[in-house]
Amino acid sequence: MKKLYAVLVALLVAAMLLPACAPAQTGPECAKPEVFCVGVVTDVGKIDDKSFNQSAWEGVKLAEKELGAKVQYIETTDAKDYDKNIATFADEGYDVIVTVGFALGEATVAAAKKYPNTKFIGVDQFQAEVTPGVAGLIFPEDQAGFLVGALAAQMTKTGKIGGVFGTDVVPPVWRFGEGYCAGAKYINPNIELFIVYHSDVGFDKTFTDPEWGSATAKSMIEKGADIIFGGGGKTGNGAVIGAVEAGALAIGVDTDQYYTLPEAQKGLLSSAMKLITPGVFDLIKAAKEGKFPDGNYVGKAAYAPYHDLDSQVPAEVKAKMEEINKALLDGTLKTNVTPAKTEDGKGFCTP
Amino acid sequence: MQNADEKQPQPGWQQAVRAGLNAALVPFLAIVTAVIVGGVIIALVGGNPFAAYLGLAQGAFGSARAWSETFVWATPYIFAGLAVALAFKGGLFNIGAEGQLAFGAVATAWVGYALPEVLGIEIPGILHLPLAIGAGILAGALWAAIPGALKAYAGGHEVINTIMMNYIALNITSYLLNGPMKDKNPLNVIARTPEIAEGARLPVIFDGLRVHWGFPLALLVALGVWYLLWKTTLGFEIRTVGANPDAARYAGINFRRILIVTMALSGLLAGMAGAVEVTGLNYRHELGFSIGYGFDAIAIALLGKTHPFGVVLASILFAGMRNGATRMQFLTQIPVDIISVIQSLILLFVAADAIIRYLYRIKAKEERLVLTRGWRG
């Protein structure tokens, strides 16, 4: 037995010392100036989350293909690791670090001050003040919501449409919801809107409650709604899938959810898209060319193709949608949505 | 061979070391086995287990910052693990560490940011920090004493009640952080408190590293729990009630009081986990911080064989795995979830120790762990 213990103790000590002695393994020589490296730090969640993380990663993959960048990602498992995960890339000499989601905003700004030679792209991170080396990639969610709201108002047969969202205290979610209502009323001022935000639960739950999303969507359909817009992480995904299950049409959010929610394909009318992938790619390209814009960088909103339902969308609706999109892009049409929730919560959805 | 060893009289400390090694044998072999099985799983999904484990070890222990981050992770694990382990010693299964931790964090954060305003004075650091941590401890202890009292006087099983009280605690926390305690800064959209005052913060040990004085404090508290359990009358009473409540009653121990005190002490430790996370690391409380630590703590207490020193070692191991996972993924792109798989395997092998004993032909020598009792225990 004594020998066994001696072996066990020796093994334990060796296991502790080994990493310290082993030559430090490095990534693909990112410290060299000629090697262009891009890293992604996800928000708490997976890289293939069918949403922000995935879209940002796709933009980085595009940079790998088009710009020859070396790319890598780290999935965050706990909010207290934001700093460490960003530093893991920065210490290896990565040129550009993409941090995904507004929750990483403070950690990103702090890292930019610590690593002045690294460029940071903060997806969905509004910059209240300019920090050198940080570009906050933000989106006109109100325009994306406006587009799908206008689409829903033209496509509804019952004159009733619904929206199921995460919490409205998050300004982007508020803008999606308000834009949706504004767009619907732009087409039909008398349209009946069912809008519910999942503000009754904590921040940990509001975006990750697909059962609630599905149940809420179905109750709206029982009240006569025939198109449901689901916005807000898994909660919104649940609403989209629930609506399609109940035989109604659904509208996705953030990315073209035709590809990310295959179970909803047969009833997915469109998606209110933040064009994260091209936004991230454009910023990486700007960084490589030395034209990196500090401060806020407004990406583009769009509505996704109709896919399976293309034949059901009348030509005049398609033409009207293109007209609205064009007017929003050139600024002749304004959504008039407030940037964040109003004091009394009133807006287009609850006048 | 074993018998020969036992017959030889040995000096006290040697015997203690031997007993410690003996108790550590099954957990250690469980870890080794889990790592091997985990390696096979990594190989099956197309990764290189050696590269993965090297990355894991580097990330956990390969540099000063790696050690620092491992200790940062280990700190709440030790407190929460001690909480669960102490309850186990008293024959109680405290699944409520999660909720007690959350309340501890909320109370500490409130004292940290709001108390100076409420009192209208600046509280000196020498007073503010103990006050803040004290509030967290008290909140955890009170919250845990409730299921203790329910068990002692109403026969309500602590497993059910602590699980239920987790929901109450987490939902109240969620309400507070979204409502009255929310950081009113107009740019803030996150459900979190304002930052606590400078004076209420536990300082870091080394400049530039995040490891703070909460870690040495955790080690000190582990020593304190060991002293309490084995060197004081109260500790003896707790262990007696844990081992055999009927015998304890016949021996004249007020077992109702001990039940409540055990739960309160357990909650005190869990509350301290929350208090130290707020004062040492986050400087505020936020929804999503410290999620799941109370449940990890159960695994840690089991792996540590419910002994305070075992809990410290198990905490550092779990912390190292959590911390090293980032570098493992960075170097090898193996999903961090593999760490949860390995941790679960460890727990499986520790809990079902017959597997390990059979694999390595170890005779059962130690007393079996009594984790919890039925309704009338």
A166/A228 same-domain check: yes
Mutation pick from B328, B330, B332, B356 vs chain A, by most beta carbons of A within 10 Å, is B330
Judged by a CB distance cut-off of 8 A, whether residue B5 touches chain A is yes
Longest C-alpha distance within chain B, in Å? 73
Instruction: Tell me the mean pLDDT in the region A77-99.
Output: 92
> Does residue A14 carry a pLDDT above 80?
no
The residues near A215 (Cβ < 8 Å, ≥ 6 apart) are: A242
Flag whether B179 is in a domain: yes
Residues A193 and A128 in one domain: no
Q: Which of B72, B330, B333 sits opposite A88 (nearest CB)?
A: B330
Helix (H) or strand (E) holding B201: none
pLDDT at A340 over 70: yes
The ipTM of this complex is: 0.78
Asked if residue B194 is part of any domain, the answer here is yes
For chains A and B, count residue pairs whose Cβ atoms are closer than 8 Å.
Answer: 97
Q: What is the pLDDT along chain B (377 residues), one digit of tens a residue?
A: 444 444 455 567 788 888 888 888 889 999 999 999 999 999 998 889 999 999 999 999 999 999 999 999 999 999 999 999 999 999 999 999 999 999 999 999 999 999 988 888 888 878 999 999 999 999 999 999 999 999 999 989 999 999 999 999 999 998 898 788 988 876 676 788 999 999 999 999 999 899 999 999 999 999 999 999 999 999 999 999 999 988 999 999 998 999 999 999 999 999 999 999 999 999 999 887 888 899 999 999 999 999 999 999 999 999 999 999 999 999 888 888 899 899 999 989 988 888 888 888 877 665 555 566 655 44
Write out chain A residues lying below 8 Å of B2, CB-based.
1
What is the overall mean pLDDT for chain A?
Answer: 89
Question: B326 and A102 in contact by Cβ < 8 A?
Answer: no
The Cα–Cα gap between B362 and B356 comes to 8
Q: Does B331 contact A at CB distance below 8 Å? A: yes
- Residues A155, A254 within the same domain: yes
Q: Which residue of A has its CA nearest to B327?
A: A88
Scanning B233-272 for CB atoms below 8 A from A yields none
Q: Give the span between the Cα atoms of A162 and A228, in whole angstroms.
A: 5
A124 part of a folded domain: yes
Q: Which of residues 19-58 of B touch A (CB under 8 A)?
A: 21, 25, 28, 54-55, 57-58
Instruction: For A91, name the nearest residue in chain B, comparing CA atoms only.
Output: B65
Residue B115 belongs to domain spanning: 80-319
Model confidence over A202-241: pLDDT tens digits? 766 788 889 999 999 999 999 999 999 998 888 999 999 9
A77: nearest CA partner in chain B: B336
Residues A171 and A318 in one domain: yes
Q: How far apart are the first and last CA of chain A?
A: 79
Percent of chain A with pLDDT over 90: 68
Give the sign of the dihedral formed by CA B136, CA B263, CA B297, CA B23.
positive
* Residues of chain B contacting residue A77, judged by C-beta atoms under 8 Å apart: 322, 325, 336
Judged by CB atoms closer than 8 Å, whether chains meet at B54 and A84 is answered as no
User: Is residue A159 located within the same domain as residue A172?
Assistant: yes
Is A285 a member of any domain? no
In a domain, B216, yes or no: yes
Domain count, chain B: 1
Same domain, A161 and A212: yes
What tokens does B22 get?
A: 């003996």
Question: Which CATH number is A88's domain given?
Answer: 3.40.50.2300
Q: Does residue A110 fall inside a structural domain?
A: yes
Q: Which residues of A touch B171 (CB under 8 A)?
A: 202
Q: Token digits for B170?
A: 């987490």
From the list B72, B287, B327, which residue is nearest A203 (CB)? B287
Residue at A79 is within a domain: yes
pTM summary value: 0.80
A88 and B327: CB-CB below 8 Å?
Answer: yes
Looking at A76, A108, A138, which one is the last position of a domain? A138
Answer yes or no: is B100 within a domain: yes
Note whether A121 and A151 are same-domain residues: no
Chain B residue with Cα closest to A342: B186
pLDDT at residue A310 greater than cutoff 60: yes
Mark whether A111 and A167 lie in a shared domain.
Answer: no
Note whether A257 and A165 are same-domain residues: yes
pLDDT at A25 over 50: no
Q: For residue A284, tell me if it sits in a domain.
A: no
Do A126 and A148 lie in one domain? The reply is no
Residue A54 covered by a domain: yes
Q: In angstroms, what separates the C-alpha of A154 from chain B's closest C-alpha?
A: 34
**Contact residues on chain A for B281, CB-CB shorter than 8 A:** 80
For B329, the closest of A15, A74, A103 (CB atoms) is A74
Beta strands in chain B (DSSP E): none
**A74 chain-B contacts, CB cut-off 8 A:** 326, 329-330
Tell me the pLDDT band of A24, cut-offs 50, 70 and 90: very low
Over the stretch A263-291, which tens digit does the pLDDT of each residue have?
999 999 999 999 999 999 999 999 999 99
- Report how many domains make up chain A: 2
- For A146-197, how does the pLDDT look when each residue is reduced to its tens digit (9 = 90+)? 999 999 999 999 999 999 999 888 888 999 999 999 999 999 999 999 999 9
In angstroms, the CA B137 to CA B132 distance is: 9
> Domain for residue A293, yes or no?
no
Q: Do B60 and A19 touch (CB under 8 A)?
A: yes
Q: What is the pLDDT of residues A114-150, one digit of tens each?
A: 999 999 999 989 898 899 999 999 999 999 999 999 9
Tell me, yes or no, whether A41 lies in a domain: yes
Say what the pLDDT of residue B324 is: 94
Q: Give me A345's structure tokens.
A: 């919560």
Which residue is associated with the tokens 């409130």?
A: B110
Using CA coordinates, name the residue in chain B closest to A106.
Answer: B188
Residues of A in contact with B70 (CB under 8 A): none
Give yes or no: residues A117 and A147 share one domain: no
More confident residue, A18 or A297: A297
Please tell me what DSSP assigns to residue B192. B
Q: What is the 3-state secondary structure (H, E, C) of chain A?
A: CHHHHHHHHHHHHHHHHHHHHCCCCCCCCCCCCCCCEEEEECCCCCCCCCCHHHHHHHHHHHHHHHHCCEEEEECCCCHHHHHHHHHHHHHCCCCEEEEECHHHHHHHHHHHHHCCCCEEEEECCCCCCCCCCEEEEECCHHHHHHHHHHHHHHHCCCCEEEEEECCCCCHHHHHHHHHHHHHHHHHCCCCEEEEEECCCCCHHHHCCCHHHHHHHHHHHHHCCCCEEEEECHHHHHHHHHHHHHCCCEEEEEECCHHHHCHHHHHHEEEEEEECHHHHHHHHHHHHHCCCCCCEEEECCEEECCCHHHHHHCCHHHHHHHHHHHHHHHHCCCCCCCCCCCCCCCCCCCCC
Range of the domain at A200: 141-273+314-330
Check CB contact under 8 Å for A84 and B69: yes
**Residues A268 and A173 grouped into a single domain:** yes
Inform me whether the C-beta atom of residue A8 falls under 8 Å from chain B C-beta atoms. yes
Q: What is the pLDDT of residue B2?
A: 45
